[in-house]
A and B are shown apart, each in its own frame.
Chain A
Amino acid sequence: MTSELAAAAGLADADLVAMYRTLALARALDERMWVLNRSGRAPFVISGQGHEGAQVGIAWPLRRDHDWVAPFYRSIATCLAVGMTPRELMLAQYAKADDPSSGGRQMPGHYGHVGRHVVSVSSPVATQILHAVGIALAAKIRGLDQVAVAIMGEGSSNQGDVHEALNFAGIHKLPFVFVVENNGYAISVPWERELSVRDVASRAAGYGMPGVIVDGTDVLGCYRASRDAVERARSGGGPTLIEAKVTRLTGHSSDDQQTKYRSEADLEEGRTHDPLPIFREQLRVAGLLDASIEGVLAAEISALVEDATAFAEAAAEPDPASGVDHVYGDPAANEPPPPWQPARGSVADRVIS
């Protein structure tokens, strides 16, 4: 007997529990990353805490290893939802050689996975929206039935690349979904100083596409909005902009102290929008979670986090000699400049002779 909550979303009860598990696992991994940072074992962490509800709900309708996501540095739950493993995410946090995101070359949080169709994240913000639009263009030309999703914060959404990308996606009705996780802050700058309108979604009209606003604590609302947008995109209906109102529960990164620019009242209000306890309560009311199930899940998640941490901690560091690899595909072109050597004896030799 499917619960009313699941039925309303067109999902099975097991799906809802799996979504909750993904959300809780993302949070637990994220919290562990901070512990690693504060204990001196990881120089940097950038967090998805507060965003995970929207991330799980929006990623859920995607076809794994088929559709594409071009995420950003807070997309930890998105990456889990599309199939990256806790070990893979922790290898990135530790920047180890076998980190599938970048082999330890990029800062933590710069996720990517070739097989999972997760486009490698870079640090210049919003560039990935054009990659997702290009992926969608290729999908359309090749008849691949794929949808490409670009995800970023509202701060990044002000970049010029966003305008260029949405315009092109709108013109060609590309199978593309643009997701803005609006947490109200671009590092320290509040939305009033970074957006000329209250809602990023209202900008969608300028690109001939629907703009949908969802509450990031409403995981199933995010799911429904994404499902509709993905179906629309896949069936040739064109792109959609989804704006999820979320909260940022941590500083911008491990190098940021948000109490400097956010009031205690603001932070307190933000904590009331934490998707994790809200979704948990929703599932309890629906009868899908109880103390016993939660205990099992918590133990499972704890074991996964411990395993991923130990695995990544023990994993091999990159070989310094590998630093020159993969500049070009043609190995001959990859050669570093040779160290300086006189071609025939040294200048000193010549002077003496």
Chain B
Amino acid sequence: MAIRTFIEAIREGMGDELRRDPAVIILGEDVGKKGGVFLATDGLWAEFGDDRVIDTPLTESMIVGASIGAALNGLRPIAEIQFADFIFPAFNQILSEAARMRYRTVGGATVPMVIRAPYGGGVHGALYHSQSIEAFFTHVPGLKVVIPSTPYDAKGLLRSAVRDEDPVLYLEHKKMYRSVRGEVPDGEYTVPLGRAVVRRPGRQLTVIAYGLMVHYALEAAERVAGEGIDCEVVDLRTLRPLDRETLLGSVRKTGKCLVAYEDNRFMGYGAEIAAIVAEEAFDYLDGPVSRIAGPDTPAMPYNHILEDWFMLSPAKIADAIRKLAAY
């Protein structure tokens, strides 16, 4: 097995799918000769050419809307939104069109497409290059939402997303692109959508996380382990459809649940997790379902002190674990 960075795994996943299936195309801003602003598509234009790797104008609604049409006519587009913060001009196309096409045609027309978007902060990206957007989109039935946390999963989930018959929003934490490395098999493998994984087994408290927060939660779990707090860390990997079994199984075992998410706390994805745990595992709980999340400011500020104040960290998660463990 080779060691790959997170972004290398994503790039390999796209390359493999482009090679495997001539129906797969990529379109987005700067995805061609430049290879994307993060170099996620680096080298793909040279290998697959203008028809398969298409530079678009600065038109997010078009990138998604034309991908919907291309999917209706037999292609499997991978649409890149340069930063998740810029996805909102395409919100109508995603919500009203991509996610509803199957439902409103009673299964007659489907939209197999992937929308890739780098999200997340801690990279000095300020208000418009740091945002977490999952809460807006996990609210949408008909859309699948994936957030990988390891290079292995990034490649395996991307392949599954490309092969899926429904639209998939595939969010990549940009801070992980080059900072996270891991083993990635050379051959064919996939990671199924809709399956969470326990990253660290533990007995006393469950931390639910996804994306970068999985790594922070694992680090926090190590920190408190020395204090005698034994945490289990669940990596959701697919936010919708949600793997309730793994999530509830863990909480029923540990009796305590902390949800860690980088997004604004109010109405964030963790609120739904908390509600599900409260409804379906109430009798097993030994403490309040808790959330550690970003502050309810409009977005992440630029200045490094302010950014650190906004961002979750292993230390902040460890504090939240201690507080809940002591309940």
Contact = CB atoms under 8 A, between A and B. Distances in A.
B15 to A, nearest CB: 18
Given A112-B105, A134-B70, A330-B166, A141 B110 contact: no
Interface stretch (A165-173, A186-194, A211-219): A165-173
Contacts of B284: 343
Contacts of A68: 73
Contacts of A131: 65-66, 68-69, 72, 97
Q: Which of A142, A144, A148, A332 has the most CB of B within 10 A?
A: A142
A326 B96 contact: no
A281 interface: no
B279 A325 contact: no
A2 to B, nearest CB: 37
Given A141-B51, A327-B142, A343-B283, A119 B72 contact: yes
Interface string B86-116: 0001001100110011111111111000000
Contacts of A344: 283
B72 to A, nearest CB: 6
Contacts of B164: 329-330
Contacts of A330: 164-166, 194, 241
Interface stretch (A30-38, A56-64, A122-130, A294-302): A122-130
B106 A134 contact: no
B171 to A, nearest CB: 18
Contacts of B66: 130-131, 133-134, 137, 165, 168
A130 B93 contact: yes
Interface stretch (B36-44, B53-61, B315-323): B53-61
Contacts of B241: 328, 330, 332-333
Nearest to B96: A124
Contacts of A340: 279
A102 B105 contact: yes
Nearest to B65: A130
A40 interface: no
A136 interface: yes
A328 B142 contact: yes
Contacts of A171: 57
Interface string A272-299: 0000000000000000000000000000
A102 B106 contact: yes
A343 B282 contact: yes
B194 A332 contact: yes
Nearest to B105: A120
B102 A134 contact: no
Contacts of B283: 342-345, 350
Contacts of B64: 130
A347 B70 CA distance: 53
Q: Which of B106, B164, B165 has the most CB of A within 10 A?
A: B106
A268 to B, nearest CB: 38
Nearest to B55: A171
Nearest to A350: B283
A164 B108 contact: no
A141 B51 CA distance: 6
Contacts of A338: 280
A206 to B, nearest CB: 13
Contacts of B159: none
Interface string B253-293: 00000000000000000000000000111111000000000
A328 B102 contact: yes
Contact of B108 (A114, A168, A332): A114
Contact of A161 (B57, B62, B105): B62
B313 interface: no
Contacts of B52: 141
Contact of A102 (B71, B104, B279): B104
A134 B71 contact: yes
B185 interface: no
Given A134-B67, A168-B56, A340-B279, A326 B73 contact: no
B102 A327 contact: yes
A141 B75 contact: yes
Contacts of A233: none
B61 A164 contact: yes
Given A114-B108, A167-B59, A343-B281, A138 B73 contact: yes
A333 B57 contact: no
A105 B104 contact: yes
Interface in B25-44: 25
Given A130-B64, A326-B103, A328-B144, 13 more contacts: A110-B104, A114-B109, A127-B96, A130-B66, A130-B68, A133-B62, A134-B71, A138-B70, A141-B75, A146-B73, A164-B59, A165-B62, A329-B110
6 contacts: A68-B73, A119-B69, A130-B61, A138-B69, A164-B57, A342-B283
Interface of B: 25, 51-52, 56-57, 59, 61-62, 64-75, 77, 89, 92-93, 96-97, 100-110, 141-142, 144, 164-166, 194, 241, 252, 279-284
